Amino acid sequence: MRRTAALIAGGGPAGAATALLLAHGGAMPVLIERQTEPHDVVCGGFLAAGAIAMLARIGINVFALGAHPIGCTRIIAGRRRAEAELPFAAAGLSRNRLDACLLQEAIDKGAAVERGVAIRRVDPAARCLDLADGGRIGG
């Protein structure tokens, strides 16, 4: 069984941000992601102020990635519409773009990202993952 200092299952925002932070701290994590390339996910791509600030803290400027500022909300039902200013600054950015950039940043900081590798089972007691290709990797 392969062993690594830090093992991350999944390359969504949570996994990619964790990989980025660990790599930044010198932990050289390995991240396992089943998709072979950046992909669209079912998500509105809405970034609230807290998410924008959190991403900024880990070095990701969402506006530099092409995020569009969002300042108001609009509800439309037939011919009726209602609008209101948002009480905070927000932004819209596709998850495809955000996830790809987070993962690339993690790689640039030293994380190893293994794409196209599906996890079949998580074994928390042994701190390892069983992979669909029959492999086993432990953290």
Ligand X SMILES: Cc1cc2nc3c(=O)[nH]c(=O)nc-3n(C[C@H](O)[C@H](O)[C@H](O)COP(=O)(O)OP(=O)(O)OC[C@H]3O[C@@H](n4cnc5c(N)ncnc54)[C@H](O)[C@@H]3O)c2cc1C
Q: Is 124 in the site for ligand X (CB under 6 A)?
A: no
Closest to ligand X by CB, 44 or 78: 44
Q: Is 53 in the site for ligand X (CB under 6 A)?
A: no
Pick the stretch among 40-48, 57-65, 66-74, 108-116 that binds ligand X (CB under 6 A): 40-48
How would DSSP label each residue in the chain? -EE-SSEEE--SHHHHHHHHHHHHTT---EEEESSSS----S---EE-HHHHHHHHHTT--TTTTTPEEEEEEEEEETTEEEEEEEEEEEEE--HHHHHHHHHHHHHHTT-EEEET--EEEEETTTTEEEETTS-EEE-
CB of 46 to ligand X, least distance (A): 3
- Binders in 55-114 for ligand X, by CB under 6 A: none
